A and B are shown apart, each in its own frame.
Chain A
Amino acid sequence: MIGIVDYGMGNLFSVSKALERIGVPYIISDKKEQLEKTDGLILPGVGAFRDAMKLLDETNLSDFIKEQAHAGKPILGICLGMQLLFDESEENGVFSGLGLLKGKAVKFSGESNGERYKVPHMGWNKLKFHQDSPLTADVEADHVYFVHSYYVSGEESDALIASSDYYEEVPAVVGKGNVFGMQFHPEKSGDLGMALLKNYTQYVQNTEVEV
């Protein structure tokens, strides 16, 4: 059973429908008591970092997520949800994140070698795998769908599972221990996205944690 964390800022519908398509049971909840009983969490997120952290703090879900992650429960952050897993973000100021992974979210500069480029990084970009991970088992590096203006920088090299190239090396799949993130939207990334989501749910199934 997957628990989708509903703190008011996710594209919950697409993520839940994607889980239905791959036949994985889930609940959507903002209640610790319910999320606690699940085998793995998904932290979705669309919008601004500060608003998201504020909502997570107000609902006491940030402490809960940290506790669960430290106890070994698998957690997958998607898009903004991935950025929230890191130390901090420079989106409209400097704001602390959950601090489960080292690094911070910084803005695309929009300029490279004197040439302007488009921000957000919007569309299909190719993944490049850096190391083996249960998330990328048996899938080929192909295109996935990104929409974001901030990207993670300063991550630990052993936490970088896959990246994409958009004027910068953009961490696309990150993970350390039981904490994972995807910067793109797997639920909008066709067959490859579905395969990556399935790998996560498989990992959750194979990880038995008493939390």
Chain B
Amino acid sequence: MLTKRIIPCLDVKEGRVVKGIQFVELRDAGDPVELARAYDQQGADELVFLDISASHEGRKTMVDVVQGVAAELAIPFTVGGGINALEDMKRILRAGADKVSLNTAAVLRPELIREGAEYFGTQCIVVAIDAKWDEEAGTWRVYTHGGRKPTERLVLDWVKEAESLGAGEILLTSMDRDGEKSGFNVELTKAVSEAVNIPVIASGGAGGSEDFTEIFTDGKADAALAASIFHYEETSVKEVKAHLRNEGVNVR
């Protein structure tokens, strides 16, 4: 049977990983390729690179990073951040990434999802969503611009629209939980996973290996993503998987 995936996320700025300085066994923890290799060895199923470069130069550097990772690694990886047009997708996917992740740009112009899916196939297009509970609406709202801007869109509508436009996967971040380390947002993830027929990656809130069981069982997530708990070695991919195996969750 298909296994549940554990996906470390790396923030890359001007070609350097900006978290992960506490990865002690590495000679250069800022080197995306080296960090990627370390995660691969721990048993990561996939990787996500988020380009948080502000400059044009930094964006260009990301292409080199993608090529370096693709040359070294035999596991799939996704690149997000700064992908606003079909040209950006071509640049990143031709450099060797397996998928691109679209966030704000897709909300501003949903046709971008269709363009990408038609050109590269739906399996290459991940739609990332920053979701926050809206008390008044009684449901979750989509935020853009790194979670700074609320939009008119509601999460459960947007995921369906994204799927129909050709999204191959949803990367769902709970802003309510992000950075809290109190566990993933089970309710949100379950609602989204049941609303669409494509895989859902849960993100935001992982505090330790025990948080992963619930998001796969009750939350119906197909994959779970975490950044800081892996970077700061609060736990490892290996540890998380050992825990999940013990709890009867099928992992690689």
Task: Please measure, in the bound complex, the distance between the C-alpha atom of A140 and the C-alpha atom of B128, giving whole angstroms.
Answer: 36
Task: Please measure, in the bound complex, the distance between the C-alpha atom of A156 and the C-alpha atom of B169, giving whole angstroms.
Answer: 33
Check: A185 CB closer than 8 A to any chain B CB.
Answer: yes
Task: Please measure, in the bound complex, the distance between the C-alpha atom of A148 and the C-alpha atom of B45, giving whole angstroms.
Answer: 17
Residues of B within 8 A of A48 (CB): 121
Task: Please measure, in the bound complex, the distance between the C-alpha atom of A194 and the C-alpha atom of B75, giving whole angstroms.
Answer: 11
Task: Please measure, in the bound complex, the distance between the C-alpha atom of A125 and the C-alpha atom of B222, giving whole angstroms.
Answer: 13
- Of the candidates B5, B75, B123, which one forms a contact with A46 in the assembled complex, judged by CB atoms under 8 Å apart? B123
Check: A104 CB closer than 8 A to any chain B CB.
Answer: no
Do B120 and A14 touch across chains, with their CB atoms under 8 A apart?
no
Do A120 and B123 touch across chains, with their CB atoms under 8 A apart?
yes
Taking A13-B94, A124-B252 as contacts, is the C-beta distance between A188 and B1 under 8 angstroms?
Answer: no
Do A47 and B120 touch across chains, with their CB atoms under 8 A apart?
yes
Taking A14-B96, A120-B168 as contacts, is the C-beta distance between A166 and B70 under 8 angstroms?
Answer: no
Please tell me the size bucket of the interface on B: 20 to 34
Do B222 and A188 touch across chains, with their CB atoms under 8 A apart?
no
- Of the candidates A118, A188, A191, which one forms a contact with B199 in the assembled complex, judged by CB atoms under 8 Å apart? A118
- Of the candidates A46, A123, A165, A189, which one forms a contact with B74 in the assembled complex, judged by CB atoms under 8 Å apart? A189
Taking A110-B197, A190-B74, A191-B74 as contacts, is the C-beta distance between A46 and B1 under 8 angstroms?
Answer: no
- Of the candidates A11, A110, A123, which one forms a contact with B2 in the assembled complex, judged by CB atoms under 8 Å apart? A123
Check: A119 CB closer than 8 A to any chain B CB.
Answer: yes
Chain A interface residue count, CB cutoff 8 Å, equals: 37
Taking A118-B197, A122-B199, A143-B252 as contacts, is the C-beta distance between A188 and B121 under 8 angstroms?
Answer: no
- Of the candidates A46, A121, A124, A188, which one forms a contact with B124 in the assembled complex, judged by CB atoms under 8 Å apart? A46
Do A17 and B70 touch across chains, with their CB atoms under 8 A apart?
yes
Do B123 and A122 touch across chains, with their CB atoms under 8 A apart?
yes
Check: B122 CB closer than 8 A to any chain A CB.
Answer: yes
Quote the shortest CB–CB distance from B42 to chain A (angstroms): 12
What are 23 sample pairs from A and B whose C-beta atoms fall under 8 A apart?
A: A13-B67, A13-B70, A13-B94, A14-B70, A14-B98, A18-B74, A48-B121, A110-B197, A118-B197, A118-B199, A118-B222, A122-B2, A123-B2, A123-B199, A123-B222, A123-B223, A124-B5, A124-B45, A125-B2, A166-B2, A188-B76, A189-B75, A194-B74
